[in-house]
Amino acid sequence: MSTRKFAAVAVGMTLALSLAACSGGGAGETEDDGAAGGGTEETEGGLIGVAMPTQTSERWIADGEAVKSGLEEAGYEVDLQFAGDDIPTQSQQIDQMITKGAELLIIAAIDGTALSGQLQAAADAGIPVISYDRLIRDSDNVDFYVTFDNYEVGVQQATSLLVGLGLLNADGSEGTATGPFNVELFAGSLDDNNAHFFWQGAIDTLQPFMDEGTIVVKSGQTDIEQAAILRWQQETAQKRMEDLLTSAYNDGSVVQGVLAPYDGISRGIITALQNAGYGSGDKAMPIITGQDAEIASVKLIADGVQYSTIFKDTRKLAEQSVVAAKAYLAGDEPEANDTETYDNGVKVVPSYLLESDIVYADNINSLLVDSGYWTAEEVASGVSE
């Protein structure tokens, strides 16, 4: 996914955003005292801080670039920072954004509970805070949340696992397989609120099959704490899969399905399985799910190695964050489409939720190529251009 494509999306937003560019600031009462733009070259639209967690996952790079180009098209200056998944670095970056006079913050937190000092400083300065994709928890000082329907993402992951095993058909009707199937469960990082929503959606979907014994978690590790992978790291997932194979599958039995919540985790699991001989001879690769439609995983799906992923169009998420930013900076409230689901421990944060899709080998083209998210060449090579 090239910057060029995001620029094209941003052009589409230009008209809608031109109003915000004209109206400039207006985010907080501190505007008049010259706080806006302090320390940085002032542009017509003022400065917006965009804090992203890491560059190790391509989605966050794409998110960051898309938000930046959308805001710049609207006339704002953007301070985009990635924190290398390091909490103190992210805190420091946000501190600096506030010092530089940011009029609004868009934050995808590493740890959803770790930014209270920065959020208080933002609130004191009248700076609106938009929580991006991941909910900021335990703070009153978060104004809006743009994300996907995260519970539904978990439902989709589990559904694709059931489809792959033959227990369900793609249309949701009952499949012909009877099982029982050996399945292992992975979750994301416990400090990321999303991980809990993905897990809940997936477990609620799998539970009836586990109750009737059609799905068997042979390791017995069915708690999110046991399944969690800190910071969503590929290597940690590989290690856990290796440990599971050694401890629960040393009796000749095989793993037939793995619930994986994110493509990086899926690839770690696949490496562990390949090293143990899966995917060759008569040891079939299990049905493995994912999330984010990362290009390396899309190729693995096309090649029949990974079974599915969840496509969350980050261009649309970025666009929503720009729309919300524009509303605040024009002195309005952004439009929410969910005001019930996302309780951050202190308050329910008004949210705008987007929809996601299950990607299988047979709809890569219609979902990802036709929409311009990846090119056919990128899918064939597994590398983004």
- Find the shortest distance in angstroms from Cβ 192 to ligand GAL: 5
HSE-CB for 180 with a 13 A CA cutoff? 14
Binding mask 316-355 for ligand GAL (x = CB under 6 A): ----------------------------------------
Closer to ligand GAL at the Cβ: 57 or 219? 57
CB 359 within 8 A of CB 301: yes
Does 57 contact ligand GAL by CB under 6 A? yes
Query: Which of 134, 267, 299, 315 touches ligand GAL (CB under 6 A)?
Result: 134
- Find the shortest distance in angstroms from Cβ 294 to ligand GAL: 9
Closer to ligand GAL at the Cβ: 76 or 197? 197
Bridging pattern class, strands 144-148 and 181-185? unpaired
Span between the terminal Cα atoms of the chain, in Å: 6
Closer to ligand GAL at the Cβ: 5 or 312? 312
- Find the shortest distance in angstroms from Cβ 151 to ligand GAL: 12
- Find the shortest distance in angstroms from Cβ 226 to ligand GAL: 19
Does 232 contact ligand GAL by CB under 6 A? yes
Query: Which of 234, 291, 297, 308 touches ligand GAL (CB under 6 A)?
Result: 291
Query: Which of 79, 192, 313, 319 touches ligand GAL (CB under 6 A)?
Result: 192
Does 151 contact ligand GAL by CB under 6 A? no
- Give the total of residues touching ligand GAL (CB under 6 A): 12
**Cα 94–99–101 angle (5° rounding)?**
100
- Find the shortest distance in angstroms from Cβ 292 to ligand GAL: 5
Q: Which stretch binds ligand GAL (CB under 6 A): 159-167, 186-194, 320-328, 338-346?
A: 186-194
Query: Which of 133, 191, 313, 378 touches ligand GAL (CB under 6 A)?
Result: 133
Query: Which of 59, 196, 218, 299 touches ligand GAL (CB under 6 A)?
Result: 59
Which residues inside 194-213 make contact with ligand GAL, applying CB under 6 A? 194
- Find the shortest distance in angstroms from Cβ 385 to ligand GAL: 21
- Find the shortest distance in angstroms from Cβ 173 to ligand GAL: 28
Closer to ligand GAL at the Cβ: 125 or 135? 135
Secondary structure of the chain in the HEC alphabet?
Answer: CCHHHHHHHHHHHHHHHHHHHHHCCCCCHHHHHCCCCCCCCCCCCCEEEEEECCCCCHHHHHHHHHHHHHHHHCCCEEEEEECCCCHHHHHHHHHHHHHCCCCEEEECCCCCCCCHHHHHHHHHCCCCEEEECCCCCCCCCCCEEEEECHHHHHHHHHHHHHHHHCCECCCCCECCCCCCEEEEECECCCCCHHHHHHHHHHHHHHHHHHHCCCEECCCCCCCHHHHECHHHCHHHHHHHHHHHHHHHCCCCCCCCEEECCCHHHHHHHHHHHHHCCCCECCECCCEECCCCCCHHHHHHHHCCCCCCEEECCHHHHHHHHHHHHHHHHCCCCCCCCECCCCECCCCECCEEEECCEEECHHHHHHHHHCCCCCCHHHHHHCCCC
CB 75 within 8 A of CB 299: no
Does 292 contact ligand GAL by CB under 6 A? yes
Closer to ligand GAL at the Cβ: 60 or 76? 60
- Find the shortest distance in angstroms from Cβ 27 to ligand GAL: 26
Which residues inside 233-262 make contact with ligand GAL, applying CB under 6 A? 262
- The residues of the shown chain that bind ligand GAL, judged by CB under 6 A, are 57, 59, 133-134, 188, 192, 194, 232, 262, 291-292, 312
